[in-house]
Amino acid sequence: MNTSSFALFGARPAFEKSLPIGQLYFPSWARYEAAFRGVFERQYYTNQGPLTQQLEEKLQQFLGVRHAICVTNATIGLMMVPDAMGLTGKVILPAYTFIASAQSLSWAGLEPVFCDIDPDTHQIALDRIGALIGEGVSAIMGVNLWGGACDPKALADLSDAHGVQLYFDSAHAFGCAVDGVRIGNFGRAEVFSFHATKILSATEGGCICTNDDELAARLRNIRSSYGAGKPVNVVKTANGRMSEAQAAIALMSLEDFPANRKNNEALYRRYEAQLQAIPGLQMIRPTGVSFSNYQYVVCGVDEREFGLPRDMLIAILQAENVIARRYFYPGLHRCIPYAQELPQYLDRLPDTDSVCASCIQLPVGAPVSAQGVDRICDILMRAHQASAGIRARYAA
């Protein structure tokens, strides 16, 4: 097959404007203006203002959780939780996640213990955790990836059996449910991200959820004295406050969640129907949930069957202005500082390494139309069909 139809080799890109990874759902300018008019009229811009309070109440109702504690972003939420839970020593987490999951432990003075993942679901490998629970481990941090879940009930059984605490990085899982129970209700605490690339967006933002009143009181005090409610003794305090501007956007985004989630699902199904016809591309379905936000479209690329290595496929797509990415790369055990400080994990996480080397994330969310999905799938099919020629031209 001819390779000259690809932008990488000089053809016009399939898309004029870049199609990024990321949800990027934003309200209309009119709604945005109305919400911001209120903020400016009140002249109250941050420090647990009325919109932040309203957002916390609405999140509690939506998630069915006792406490939703809004914060500036998920990273700071993850940094606050270990102190509030009184964690010490080491915390087990998967090596296949965003760097913030591990960095939050470093900020809290804790050592990460990296666990391998299940290559089919990309979630933490439950059967490898037991062997890692040893001297000094005080908790497991589950990470709910890709709009799926890492089996929070099995993790609860495991942590109970070993007498360690459990909490979750649920940055990817807003609105998802496990057996009808919304994520946000598992473990001692769960942290959501409201970054612009997430389905619930405050541009930057996040929230910590817990059903534990004491823990919530500590978290509210750590966040800052504003919105602390009952003052309790905490060793460290931070500034994790969400501004009124962030809360205004998040409130609109929460209102739009059902429609945005429905749009994601339609795009996901359209990808699914077409990708199954392309050899060597394996969609990672959001497993372990009864309800997904379909926030990500993630595929494994089998180089032998597809005909091209993952990174060559990314180069093809990016030249077409489809900003496909290799998430996450490399695994946390290969990132600074962990590769140097904890070299014992370098040869112990084969499934993480193989997923990092073969996984690709495709655009979904507001920037993508149904026709856009069709064109992306067409590029993928053509890339497979022309793989021998592409490899030869790429090498030349």
Q: Contact positions toward ligand T4K, by CB under 6 A?
A: 20-22, 24, 73-75, 97-98, 100-101, 143, 169, 171-172, 193, 195-197, 206, 323
| Closer residue to ligand T4K in complex, CB, 238/381 | 238
Rounded to whole angstroms, how far apart are CA atoms 80 and 356?
28
Q: To the nearest whole angstrom, how small is the minimum distance from the Cβ of residue 170 to ligand T4K?
A: 8
**H or E segment and range at residue 333:** none
Q: To the nearest whole angstrom, how small is the minimum distance from the Cβ of residue 367 to ligand T4K?
A: 7
Sheet-wide strand order for 297-301:
281-283, 297-301, 359-362
**H or E segment and range at residue 93:** strand 90-94
Rounded to whole angstroms, how far apart are CA atoms 295 and 147?
6
Q: To the nearest whole angstrom, how small is the minimum distance from the Cβ of residue 104 to ligand T4K?
A: 8
| Closer residue to ligand T4K in complex, CB, 119/279 | 119
Q: To the nearest whole angstrom, how small is the minimum distance from the Cβ of residue 173 to ligand T4K?
A: 9
| Closer residue to ligand T4K in complex, CB, 25/98 | 98
Backbone angles phi, psi at 282, to 5 degrees: -120, 110
| Closer residue to ligand T4K in complex, CB, 336/395 | 336
Q: To the nearest whole angstrom, how small is the minimum distance from the Cβ of residue 353 to ligand T4K?
A: 18
Q: Strand, helix or coil at 381?
A: helix
One-letter amino acid at 9 equals F
> Where does 43-125 have alpha helices with state H?
50-63, 74-85, 99-107
* Cβ neighbours of 249 (radius 10 Å): 27
| Closer residue to ligand T4K in complex, CB, 48/144 | 144
| Closer residue to ligand T4K in complex, CB, 122/195 | 195
Q: To the nearest whole angstrom, how small is the minimum distance from the Cβ of residue 198 to ligand T4K?
A: 7
| Closer residue to ligand T4K in complex, CB, 330/389 | 330
Can you give the length of the chain in residues?
A: 396
Backbone angles phi, psi at 70, to 5 degrees: -75, 140
Rounded to whole angstroms, how far apart are CA atoms 184 and 202?
18
Q: To the nearest whole angstrom, how small is the minimum distance from the Cβ of residue 24 to ligand T4K?
A: 6
Q: What is the dihedral of CA 310, 316, 318, 319, to 10 degrees?
A: 160
